[in-house]
Amino acid sequence: MRAIFLDRDGVICENRSDHVKSWGEFRFLPGAKNSLAALSRLGLPIIVITNQAIIGRGMVPASVVDDIHWRMVAEVEAHGGRIDRVMYCPHRPEDRCGCRKPEPGMLLQVADEMGIDLAQSYLVGDAATDLVAGRRVGCQTFLVLTGRGLQQLLPTFRSVDQFTITRNLMGATTHILKAELHVADKLDLWSPTYVRRRSRPLSVASSF
């Protein structure tokens, strides 16, 4: 089984220099909900993997991050999309854990629990650390230029062997739709005519 892995900040929502510490600070990026609706119709698991060191730094408790994620998923579902699972690493960089990106721990954990073939999966991020984690397990990776993407171009070129640059999540979604549906460029890839929809339950979990 293949899957679509998405970073959160800078891919789905705005990346804040002071971090997203509450639902009131969460802002969907333009086109993100439409992208998730289109991806949802493919029938592949959609999994968010995100570093959330604000927990380890004591800025917010894990319950606040969980609340943000439940509300995010509810908004996505109200717009016709879905997110099947949210995984986050609560550790600080200095903790040197195996789950904080660029380490691939979260990807490996989800793959083991859900039977996902990582080498046939997709990963979308806005930083070199996202793409390094993806490439370590063989994912096809996309760097979006939203969030930190523009600033992360050079670090990504230096540390990742293969990746595709797209303007935003909508651009990455178009690439994934083309790959999965094997259709010509002239077709309306975003139309439900060419994709089928399947619902899955949400699972929200931290990775330790």
Annotated catalytic residue, options 7, 84, 126, 130: 7
Across-strand partners of 86? 48, 204
Residue that has been written with the tokens 């954990």 in this structure: 109
What tens digit of pLDDT does each residue of 147-197 get?
999 999 999 999 999 999 999 999 999 999 999 988 655 445 655 544 443
What tens digit of pLDDT does each residue of 132-143 get?
999 999 999 999
Count of C-beta atoms within a 10 Å radius of residue 111: 20
Better-scored residue on pLDDT, 205 or 172: 172
Active site residue 161: no
Q: Return the half-sphere exposure (C-beta side, CA atoms, 13 A cut-off) of residue 183.
A: 17
Helix (H) or strand (E) holding 158: helix 153-159
Cα separation, 207 vs 205, in Å, equals 7
Q: What percent of the chain has pLDDT over 70?
A: 88
Cα separation, 188 vs 191, in Å, equals 6
Active site residue 9: yes
Amino acid identity, position 110: V
User: What is the residue-averaged pLDDT of the chain?
Assistant: 90
Cα separation, 126 vs 144, in Å, equals 5
Q: What is the pLDDT of residue 178?
A: 92
* Among the listed residues 135, 196, 200, the one whose alpha carbon sits nearest the alpha carbon of residue 164: 135
Q: What is the pLDDT of residue 104?
A: 98
Q: What is the pLDDT of residue 185?
A: 54
Cα separation, 137 vs 120, in Å, equals 10
Q: Which domains does the chain have, with CATH numbers?
A: 4-206 (3.40.50.1000)
* Among the listed residues 44, 35, 47, the one whose alpha carbon sits nearest the alpha carbon of residue 190: 35
Residues 8, 48 contacting (CB under 8 angstroms): yes
Residues 46, 3 contacting (CB under 8 angstroms): yes
- Residue 117, Ramachandran bin (φ over 0: left; ψ between -120 and 50: alpha; else beta): beta
Q: What is the pLDDT of residue 189?
A: 60
Annotated catalytic residue, options 9, 84, 126, 130: 9
